[in-house]
Amino acid sequence: MSLNLLALLGAMLTIATPLIWAGVGELVVERTGVLNLGIEGTMYLGAFVGFLVALRTGSPWLGLLAAVASGVVAGVLMGLFAVTLGLNQHVSGLGLTLLLIAVCEFTFRMLYAGERPTLDTKFDVLLPGVEVLDQHWLTYVAFLVLAPGSWWVLRSTGAGYRLRAVGESFEAADVAGISVSGVRYAALMVGGAFMAVGGAFLTLSVLGSFTLDIINGRGWVCIALVIFARWRVWPAVCGALIFAGTDALQLQLAITPAFGDVPRELMLALPYLAVIVALAVWGRSVRYPGSYLKAHRRA
């Protein structure tokens, strides 16, 4: 066995990055009591819009900016369905995901039928040649800024107080003079931006190209991670690392001769199985946020 531990670790950090961006985005939204199943579509949108703008302008920075904007728009759309209209959150989210993926696929096929465009300039890794630390800047930001920052905001700022109050008891928030829909919209917009960055990371940093199966269920993994983490930031980061570690492991095993006979599909399923096992073990008897899935109405 020639497992390269350092390579494994490096791959784990890269694979975990989009999960942390989107996972934190989902966590922020769910802390207000809204389940955003639009996450898969929002990541897809971010990946596509980021790629398209970077391709057309030649600047991955503009691409990232556009991805952020698209994520905010996706958040507003979800807000329109689930907050303003008070529709069922499951249906709204799934509908949004289907819509966004379909629109992106359609546009991509219209523009580049049969082609396989790639970016001339994508984001480079920092510290090239240094094992494990040769990561993209968005990875560094995810671990060093996004995760601790969102943890701190939730814990010790007025914005965090509002978010938690709305998610736990919107009646209480309402009486305290907090705008329930305002907080939910804000969270959906910020969370949507994070999700879109998670998607754009794949096109702008890792691949430099766009494929139709680019997100491949990563959004759904984030939904599971957030529940597994019981809506806390650090456990969500740990969950993302577990998933990413399993994924990195199966990628290495797939090129290890000793595992040549194991069906490729089984290997690919490994990280998802890990999520299911983790949820089965730690996801039971979860206490959901008090206003989870509820629409807020006032006479």
Partner 1 sequence: MTPQRAGADADPARGRALLELAGVTKRFGDLVANDDVSLSVGAGEVVAMLGENGAGKSTLMKIAYGLVRPDAGELRVDGRPVQLGSPRDAMRAGIGMVTQEFSLVETMTVSENVALSAVGLGRVDAAANRRRVMAAMERLGVQIEPERLVATLSIGERQRVEIVKALFHDCRVLILDEPTAVLTPQDVRSLFETIARLRTDGLGVLFVSHKLREVAEISDRVVVLRRGRMVGDRPTASVDEAELAALMMGGAASAAAAPAGPSQSRAGAVADPVGGAVGLGVETRPTAGPAEARPEPVLRLTDLGVSTGRRALLSGISLTVGAGEIVGIAGISGNGQTELVDVLAGVRPASSGTVHVAGRDLTRADVATRLAAGLGRLTEDRRGSLVPQMSVEHNLVLEDLPRFTSRGLLDRGAVRRHAEQLIERFDIRARPGDPVATLSGGNMQKVLLARSLVREPRVLVVAQPTRGLDVGSYAYVHEQLAALRDRGAGVLVVSEDLDELRGLCDRVAVLFRGRIVGELPIAEASSERLGLMMTGVEVAT
Residues at the site binding partner 1, with contacts judged by CB under 8 A: 156-159, 161-162, 164-165, 168-169, 171-179, 290, 298-299
Helix (H, G, I), strand (E, B) or coil at 144: helix
CB closer to partner 1 out of 52 and 186: 186
In whole angstroms, the minimum distance from the beta carbon of 185 to partner 1 comes to 14
- Phi first, then psi, for residue 181 (nearest 5°) are -70, -35
Q: CA angle, corner 258, sides to 255 and 262, nearest 5?
A: 75
Cα–Cα nearest to 226, from 177, 191, 261, 266: 191
| Burial annotation 216-229 (CB, 10 A radius, 16+ → b, else e) | eebbbbbbbbbbbb
CB closer to partner 1 out of 134 and 174: 174
Q: What is the largest CA-CA distance in the chain?
A: 67
Q: What is the C-alpha to C-alpha distance for residues 80 and 134, in angstroms, rounded to an integer?
A: 41
CB closer to partner 1 out of 117 and 160: 160
Amino acid identity of 213? D
Q: What is the C-alpha to C-alpha distance for residues 259 and 168, in angstroms, rounded to an integer?
A: 48
In whole angstroms, the minimum distance from the beta carbon of 149 to partner 1 comes to 12
In whole angstroms, the minimum distance from the beta carbon of 84 to partner 1 comes to 16
In whole angstroms, the minimum distance from the beta carbon of 146 to partner 1 comes to 18
In whole angstroms, the minimum distance from the beta carbon of 125 to partner 1 comes to 34
In whole angstroms, the minimum distance from the beta carbon of 227 to partner 1 comes to 16
CB closer to partner 1 out of 154 and 241: 154
What is the sign, positive or negative, of the torsion defined by CA atoms of 290, 235, 138, 2?
negative
Helix (H, G, I), strand (E, B) or coil at 114: coil
